[in-house]
């Protein structure tokens, strides 16, 4: 470009501006796309859950409505439930109850509602990895028989039916309360309470291992931030809250508060997982044959030799794998070295190689051929007649002592 050539200078400036605009536009697009990806990944993760909820029974008195919910087997971490009650005018009343419910656990929830009930639906609340609460699909719907609904997830309402007073799943006779098929009472033996798994409990209580336990209430936790409610094991292990493990928090079982975990590996643990924080205490030097023992300490692994001897002869197979026989290989047909590993420590061309044994064959006709042979996984063309071999049960044993 000649001195004073303004046209050439303008072209360069314009090109730089175009490049800058392209970079800025790409940055804006990436921010939008990243946000969408993160949001959709949480939804995809939520979609893999298989939580199944079941409204077992419903009871009502002058103080509120008690709903017994069972969680059936299925993957997913529940942080709470949402109940929706529809009254006789079609209006919905929504109630949220936080707290986990484990698989096969049965809990009773007391709602501050004394009006007419046409139906009750329950849906799970999930806590995503980012800490957001997302409501799942409706898990079950209970219909009050007086309104002719289709019945609950286990019921068989409509028309006239005979109360089913036998629980097939837990094999007990229902002596009181609502029948299994939700079409009437089994007896009047629990007029002032309700029958929970065959036991008559007062309203506001539920059956926990044969004892009427007062229903779980968040106020039971007091100052607890996590863990179970005191003296109420039936409420679940995480009734009082769940700590944010993504931020390194753990539930302190002495104070029941969410504390940032400080690893306690110390000098007595140099591998494996820290017992408190579940973080890594370190890695062992596998090249030197170290392994992490049950005490979370690195130690040199010593595996005995299963068989050793000298190669009699070796030959290739059409599939490219090599076979060798030896007078030192066991001939007992009950011995099987398949899946073991062999090395040739004195052959300088085979140093640091451990080969898997694909097949081990003992003599079929000892009169004609009285040696066993092995087929190995690779094509070690540098094995020679007379080479010393060592067979180990595992690759780790074959590589011990820094051999691999």
Q: Which of 58, 68, 51 has its CA nearest to residue 103?
A: 51
User: pLDDT for 211-223, tens place per residue?
Assistant: 788 888 888 888 8
pLDDT value for 269: 82
Is residue 303 helix, strand or coil? Answer: coil
> How far apart are alpha carbons 124 and 132 in whole angstroms?
14
Q: Which pair of tokens denotes residue 34?
A: 């990243």
Dmax over Cα atoms in the chain, in whole Å?
108
The C-alpha atoms of residue 283 and residue 316 are separated, in whole angstroms, by 40
* CB of 67 closer than 8 Å to CB of 95: no
What is the rounded end-to-end Cα distance, in angstroms, of the chain? Answer: 63
pLDDT number for residue 197? 67
What six digits make up the tokens of 353?
A: 């190689």
Q: What is the dihedral of CA 30, 31, 32, 35, to 10 degrees?
A: 120
- What pLDDT score does 301 carry? 74
Q: How many residues does the chain have?
A: 404
- DSSP assigned state of 56: E
The DSSP result for 219-268, as a single string, is GGGTT--SSPPTT-GGG-TTTT----GGGTEEE-TTT--EEE-----GGG
Segment (H or E) for 19:
helix 6-47
Listed by start position, the domains of the chain span: 53-215, 217-261, 267-300, 307-402
* pTM greater than 0.75 (yes/no): no
Query: CA-to-CA distance for 7 and 2, rounded, in angstroms?
Result: 10
Q: Is the dihedral of CA 38, 42, 43, 44 positive or negative?
A: positive
pLDDT reported for residue 149: 45
Tokens read off for 370: 């009285």
The whole-number pLDDT of residue 156 equals 40
- The per-residue pLDDT for 148 is 45
Which parts of the chain register pLDDT below 50?
1, 44, 148-159, 171
Question: Which residues make Cβ contacts (< 8 Å) with residue 65, sequence separation at least 6?
Answer: 58, 59, 85, 110, 111, 113, 114, 117, 120
The first and second tokens of residue 153, run together, are: 């997830």
Q: Which residue, 376, 375, 388, is CA-closest to 348? A: 388
- Fold entry, domain 307-402: Elongation Factor Tu (Ef-tu); domain 3 (2.40.30)
| 39 DSSP 8-state letter | H
Measured distance CA(224)–CA(233) in Å, rounded: 15
């Amino acid at each position: 470009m000649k001195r004073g050539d303004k046209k050439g200078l303008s072209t360069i400036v314009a090109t730089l501006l175009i490049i800058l605009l392209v970079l800025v536009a790409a940055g804006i697009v990436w921010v939008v796309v990243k946000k969408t990806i993160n949001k959709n990944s949480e939804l995809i993760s939520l979609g893999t859950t298989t939580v199944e909820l079941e409204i077992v029974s419903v009871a009502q008195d002058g103080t509120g409505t008690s709903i017994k919910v069972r969680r059936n087997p299925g993957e997913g971490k529940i942080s709470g439930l949402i109940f929706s009650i529809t009254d006789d005018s079609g209006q919905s009343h929504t109630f949220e109850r936080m707290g986990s419910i484990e698989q096969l656990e049965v809990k009773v929830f007391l709602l501050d509602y004394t009006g007419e009930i046409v139906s009750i639906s329950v849906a799970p609340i999930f806590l995503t990895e980012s800490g957001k609460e997302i409501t799942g699909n409706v898990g079950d719907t209970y219909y009050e028989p007086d309104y002719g609904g289709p019945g609950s997830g286990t019921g068989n309402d409509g028309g006239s039916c005979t109360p089913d007073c036998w629980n097939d799943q837990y094999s007990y006779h229902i002596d009181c309360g609502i029948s299994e098929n939700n079409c009437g009472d089994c007896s009047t033996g629990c007029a002032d309470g309700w029958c929970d798994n065959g036991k008559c409990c007062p309203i506001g209580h539920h059956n926990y291992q044969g004892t009427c336990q007062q229903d779980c209430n968040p106020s039971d936790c007091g100052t607890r931030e996590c863990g179970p409610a005191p003296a109420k094991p039936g409420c679940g292990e995480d009734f009082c809250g769940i700590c944010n493990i993504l931020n390194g928090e753990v539930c302190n079982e002495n104070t029941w508060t969410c504390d940032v975990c400080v690893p306690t590996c110390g000098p007595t643990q140099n591998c494996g997982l820290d017992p408190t924080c579940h973080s890594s205490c370190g890695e062992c030097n596998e090249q030197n044959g170290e392994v992490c023992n049950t005490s979370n300490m690195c130690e040199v692994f010593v595996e005995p030799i299963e068989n050793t001897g000298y190669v009699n002869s070796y030959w290739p197979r059409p599939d490219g794998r090599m076979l060798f026989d030896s007078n030192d290989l066991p001939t007992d047909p009950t011995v099987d070295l398949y899946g073991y590993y062999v090395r040739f420590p004195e052959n300088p061309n085979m140093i640091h190689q451990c080969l898997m044994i694909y097949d081990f064959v003992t003599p079929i006709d000892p009169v004609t051929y009285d040696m066993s042979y092995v087929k190995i996984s690779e094509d070690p063309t540098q094995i020679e007649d007379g080479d010393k071999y060592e067979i180990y049960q595992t690759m780790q044993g074959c590589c011990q002592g820094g051999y691999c």
